[in-house]
Amino acid sequence: MSVFSSSVPILVTRLRAAGCVFAEDEAQLLVSTAATPDELAAMVERRVAGEPLEYVLGWAEFCGLRVAVAPGVFVPRPRTEFLIQEAVALARRVAGTPVVLDLCCGTGAMGAALAAELERAELHATDLDPAAVRCARRNLGAGHVYEGDLYEPLPASLRGRVDIVIASPPYVPSESVALLPAEARLHEPLVALDGGGDGLDVVRRVIAGAPQWLAPGGHLLVETSERQAAATAETVARAGLAARVASSAELDATAVIGTRPQRRGFSGAAAPAAPPA
């Protein structure tokens, strides 16, 4: 119970008038996050002016974690929790400490959530945007966060060692960016949203790089849309990975999963005949 609880009904009215659909929830969150009445007033002004709630609060909830979110960094979406559920199931089957790579990491929410679900993990994350890298470093305490384009800043020693690559790269087709909600369109960085003509420019580069970084039997999980899933899966298959599409109607989420084949002799099917006695 906060000292500002009495201001909640007034706040709800203001937020609702400004078009906030979940005005009650937002009012509670603002009141419980602000440390002083002045801070609360400033936060309300920013929200009423249209800034995403997560920028105003300075955090977002993702997979039950409170993740730091800085203005100008892509806000983790509830739908992306689906990709983490899939990744957790695959990572739990890894013998030893799973090596995880979060590409286009933004706030680092995905890597943080996956690591939180595992007993132990070796976590690496990259992002092109210095603001995202700074934010991810706050969220990924023990993880290694590198600034640069996709795999480019990674140490060569990771080649062929990564068990799980997770990525929610920009995948909005350029001409659809204008149709995004104003909060995304006006406040989030275009580089985190715009995926080029068909939306798959960055996705294709994520997929093309994956086979040389994945360990044998390792998995790449990429978030995509239902409409883009078939083309994404085809690209995964052409890169030599076994492709499948997973989706959740409840979370309105689609992920394409590519698995690097096991080394010859390690998988049952490809095992060579026993040597002569």
Residues that bind ligand GLN (CB under 6 A): 77, 168, 170-172, 184, 193
Which residue, 44, 87, 22, 68, is CA-closest to 223? 87
Nearer to ligand GLN, 24 or 198 (CB): 198
Considering the complex, what minimum distance in angstroms separates the CB of residue 96 from ligand GLN? Answer: 31
Which residue, 222, 213, 219, is CA-closest to 195? 222
Nearer to ligand GLN, 24 or 201 (CB): 201
Considering the complex, what minimum distance in angstroms separates the CB of residue 196 from ligand GLN? Answer: 11
Nearer to ligand GLN, 192 or 214 (CB): 192
Report which DSSP code applies to 143.
Answer: S
C-alpha span between 269 and 217 (Å, rounded): 13
Considering the complex, what minimum distance in angstroms separates the CB of residue 184 from ligand GLN? Answer: 6
Considering the complex, what minimum distance in angstroms separates the CB of residue 28 from ligand GLN? Answer: 24
**Residue 98 contacts by C-beta under 8 Å, 6 or more apart in sequence?**
91, 118, 120, 121, 122, 163, 164
Considering the complex, what minimum distance in angstroms separates the CB of residue 21 from ligand GLN? Answer: 16
Nearer to ligand GLN, 40 or 193 (CB): 193
C-alpha span between 222 and 17 (Å, rounded): 38
Which residue, 180, 122, 127, 171, is CA-closest to 149? 127
Sign of CA dihedral 30, 70, 65, 86: positive
Considering the complex, what minimum distance in angstroms separates the CB of residue 78 from ligand GLN? Answer: 9
Nearer to ligand GLN, 139 or 168 (CB): 168
Q: Where are the alpha helices (DSSP H) in the chain?
A: 8-17, 23-33, 37-48, 53-57, 81-91, 109-117, 130-139, 182-187, 201-213, 229-238
Q: For residues 206 and 103, is the Cβ–Cβ distance under 8 A?
A: yes
Token duo for residue 25: 């929830």
Nearer to ligand GLN, 171 or 213 (CB): 171
Considering the complex, what minimum distance in angstroms separates the CB of residue 124 from ligand GLN? Answer: 20
Considering the complex, what minimum distance in angstroms separates the CB of residue 77 from ligand GLN? Answer: 4
Q: Where are the alpha helices (DSSP H) in 52-117?
A: 53-57, 81-91, 109-117
Please state the separation of Cα 193 from the chain's center in Å. Answer: 12
Q: For residues 254 and 226, is the Cβ–Cβ distance under 8 A?
A: yes
